[in-house]
């Protein structure tokens, strides 16, 4: 039997994982149809790959070769307190992603529903500087998370003009002005059991993250995995990868690490935020 209350409960449960002493919430900032047809977004995918991927994530495969994608950020809440945000969603109505993504996103309501205020967030990792991952970083020219250190891949910072014309002025300049911008190259610690995992290729500095607590782990893929196609056929490249060969190697290594650790994969754009690989 279907009724709204149980659906809401199921959705919340699907969006939360207890990982050792931490809790991880998926914050779905929005969902919409992508401007690029699936067959041109993933030109190497064969009919068998498409059928297997559609079986794994049916809601993502629409008629007429269209792709419905979600936009997830993730909130890690360690038992010790504080909060770590992985990615910052599509953002408010006037964010850089408004050109193509279904803004406004729902970050404020999502944080409130988990009892978290923007002040509570101590670290924000931007996996990369595409507009759909940075949207709530800065709102109306001010950092939305006033107490947070914003961890940003230096190679993306240095290539920002190529990634998005508006992100330097809208996001990076205000964060630099308040001293909140922390540019990183190697793996760094974000909090208890949380480290970054460099996965360059989708963008020059693309960076994933690992949470390991007790015997449980989550790998936050960012856009190293974009669609279920890249779970069933990890060699399939994405049209907008900056360096497809490097992206492919990073994806294969990330999926291998997830399997070895028995980790959840926390995905940016699949329908289910948490998947097993
Ligand atoms: Zn991206
Ligand atoms: Zn993305």
Question: Per-domain residue ranges for the chain?
Answer: 13-275
Place of tokens 């754009």: 269
5 CA distance to ligand 2 centroid (A)? 31
The pLDDT of residue 199 is 98
> 262: closest CA among 215, 208, 211, 207?
215
Any alpha helices (H) in 221-277, and if so which ranges? Answer: 229-232, 244-261
Q: Distance from the CA of 130 to the center of ligand 2, in angstroms? A: 7
Per-residue pLDDT at 111 exceeds 80: yes
How do residues 174-205 score in pLDDT, each as one tens digit? 999 999 999 999 999 999 999 999 999 999 99
* Chain mean position to CA 74: 7
For ligand 2, the distance from its centroid to the CA atom of residue 3, given in whole angstroms, is: 32
Cα Rg of the chain, angstroms: 17
Among all chains, which residue has been given the structure tokens 């970054």? 196
For ligand 2, the distance from its centroid to the CA atom of residue 18, given in whole angstroms, is 25
Ligand 1 midpoint to CA 158 (Å): 16
Which CATH number applies to 13-275: 3.50.50.60, 3.60.15.10, 3.90.1150.10, 3.40.50.2300?
Answer: 3.60.15.10
Cα 217 to averaged position of ligand 1 atoms, centre (Å): 23
* CB atoms closer than 10 angstroms to residue 224: 32
Give me the pLDDT at residue 25, please: 97
- Residue from 71, 82, 58, 67 nearest 27 by CA: 71
Distance separating alpha carbons of residues 4 and 121, to the nearest angstrom: 31
Q: In terms of C-beta density within 10 A (0-12 exposed, 13-18 middle, 19 or more buried), how is residue 150 classed?
A: buried
Alpha helices in 33-106, H assignment, sequence order: 38-41, 47-56
Residue 3 has pLDDT above 60, yes or no: no
Ion ligand 2 neighbours, Cβ < 5 Å? 132, 223
pLDDT in tens, 21-54: 999 999 999 999 999 999 999 999 999 999 999 9
């Amino acid at each position: 039997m279907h009724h709204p209350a149980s659906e809401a409960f199921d959705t919340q449960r699907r969006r939360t994982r207890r990982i050792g002493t931490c809790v991880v919430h998926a914050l779905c900032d929005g969902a919409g149809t992508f401007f690029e047809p699936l067959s041109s977004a993933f030109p190497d995918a064969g009919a068998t790959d498409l059928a297997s991927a559609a079986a794994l994530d049916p809601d993502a495969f629409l008629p007429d070769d269209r792709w419905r994608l979600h936009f997830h950020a993730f909130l890690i809440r360690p038992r010790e307190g504080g909060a770590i945000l992985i990615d910052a969603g599509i953002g408010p109505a006037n964010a850089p992603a408004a050109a193509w993504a279904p803004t406004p996103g729902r970050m404020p309501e999502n944080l409130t529903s988990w009892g978290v205020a923007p002040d509570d967030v101590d670290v924000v990792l931007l996996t990369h500087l595409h507009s759909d991952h940075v949207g709530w970083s800065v709102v109306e020219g001010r950092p939305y998370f006033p107490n947070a250190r914003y961890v940003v891949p230096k190679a993306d910072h240095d290539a920002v003009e190529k990634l998005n014309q508006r992100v330097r002025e809208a996001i990076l300049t205000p964060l630099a002005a308040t001293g909140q911008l922390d540019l990183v190259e190697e793996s760094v610690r974000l909090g208890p059991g949380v480290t970054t995992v460099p996965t360059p290729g989708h963008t020059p500095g693309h960076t994933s993250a690992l949470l390991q607590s007790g015997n449980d782990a989550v790998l936050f893929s960012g856009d190293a995995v974009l669609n279920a196609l890249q779970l069933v056929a990890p060699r399939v490249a994405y049209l907008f990868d900056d360096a497809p060969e490097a992206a492919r190697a990073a994806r294969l290594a990330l999926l291998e690490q997830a399997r070895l650790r028995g980790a959840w994969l926390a995905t940016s754009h699949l329908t289910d935020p948490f998947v097993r690989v």
